[in-house]
Amino acid sequence: MKVSKQYTKIAESIREDLELPEIITNDWLLHVHDDSSSELSIWGFCFRDLSKTSFASDIDSTLLRRVSFDTTTIFPKELPVGYEPKSIVKEAFGRCLGIEELIKSGVDGRGVTIAIGDAAIDAIHSENVDNTEYLDITDSKKSSHFHGLIVLANLAGKSISIAPKAKVLYFPKTDDMTQSGNDSLAALREVVKRNREGAKIRVVNRSGPEPRGLEDEYYALVAELAALDCCVIDSIRFGKDFTCGNFLESPEDVDNIGLSDWQTTGRFAGIADGKMIVPAGGRMVPLWGTVDEYQFVPQSSYSWAIPMLSGIYTLALQVSPQLSYEKFVEIARKTATMNRKGLIIINPKGVIETLLER
């Protein structure tokens, strides 16, 4: 296994800070799921040797499947009935929702330039491809983070993305929250400048909201980019018509798509009502700090779904270059599929077929 110094550092830190019990119980699994944003929920069994770990006799395999792990995780020889990590890796790896078929037909994002503003990345993973230009245009201190790596891979990575042939301009931002907003604005200004010079950047992916305290300038830049035929897809725009979701089992069947607990309980209860779901959970993503290892991410978030939506819009722009984002949403709504749970699922093939028929 080829890893970077970053991998060693994060692996050691997680093993030290996130202690696992000797026996995995349903109560412990429920504790992990209670806070979907906790470090334990994010990393679960990642970076672990579980060969000496036991599972309670009454363990719920459905709950167990909702724990993250990676392709370096060492599991015990005896596993609970219904829990098969190797099978999960096999079915969760690759693309979903008919994207592979679209790519094989040549609808793969080629000819479309997009920008991503996100955390700095350690660009050693094999998902990173030659069509990505890394543009560090600010003086802020930056360190690599898994967030940016997964965003890039979901949008334009080599083997799991939506638009692998799109040209990507990647603008890293600092992890210093007091300065990251300034980095975000600098990236948007650069996109404005390049488009005025004829670059034709059509999409900017931002897996987050507007920078706090800089809203006025941010939305002024978003409007300026709109006038230059460039759409900024951030969490605010995404959340108006879409939400995220998870593949609870095989990604080949839309009836396996469901919601995370945070979308159905507490202050976010009802957030998915009437929204189209972009399923980003229950899939394999690049494992931070490695060359060719992957992590199973069972629970989705806006962060992982936004680049998938940006990728689908990129495919739509390839076949219909004058398509506005608003018209794209309208077509997505008309072609969406409702599964047996009553959830509305985006249908990329339906969108592209509709555009090709026009």
Per-residue pLDDT tens listing for the chain (358 residues): 666 666 667 777 777 767 788 999 999 898 887 766 677 788 999 989 999 999 999 999 988 998 999 999 999 999 999 999 999 999 999 888 999 999 999 999 999 999 999 999 876 788 887 789 999 999 999 988 889 999 999 999 999 999 999 999 999 999 888 889 999 999 999 999 999 999 999 999 999 889 999 999 999 999 999 999 999 999 999 999 999 999 987 777 899 999 988 888 888 889 899 999 999 999 999 998 888 999 999 988 999 999 999 999 999 999 999 999 999 999 999 999 999 999 999 999 999 999 999 7
Q: For the chain, give every residue range classified as CATH 3.40.50.200.
A: 100-234
- What gap in Å lies between CA 154 and CA 47, rounded to an integer? 22
pLDDT score recorded for residue 7: 67
Beta bridge partners of 23: 54
pLDDT score recorded for residue 130: 77
Map residue 330 onto helix, strand or coil: helix
CATH 3.40.50.360 is right for the domain spanning 100-234 = no
Say if strands 167-173 and 132-134 run parallel, antiparallel, or are unpaired.
parallel
Neighbours of 215 (CB within 10 A): 12
pLDDT score recorded for residue 177: 80
Asked whether 209 and 234 are in contact (CB, 8 A), the reply is yes
pLDDT score recorded for residue 13: 75
pTM above 0.85, yes or no: yes
- What gap in Å lies between CA 86 and CA 111, rounded to an integer? 37
Q: Percent helix, strand, coil in the chain (nearest 5)? A: 40, 15, 45
Both tokens of 287, joined, read 């494992």
Angle ∠(355,157,325) on CA atoms, nearest 5:
30
pLDDT score recorded for residue 165: 96
Say if strands 283-286 and 294-297 run parallel, antiparallel, or are unpaired.
antiparallel
pLDDT score recorded for residue 300: 86
CA-based radius of gyration for the chain: 20
- What gap in Å lies between CA 348 and CA 254, rounded to an integer? 12
Residue type, 320: S
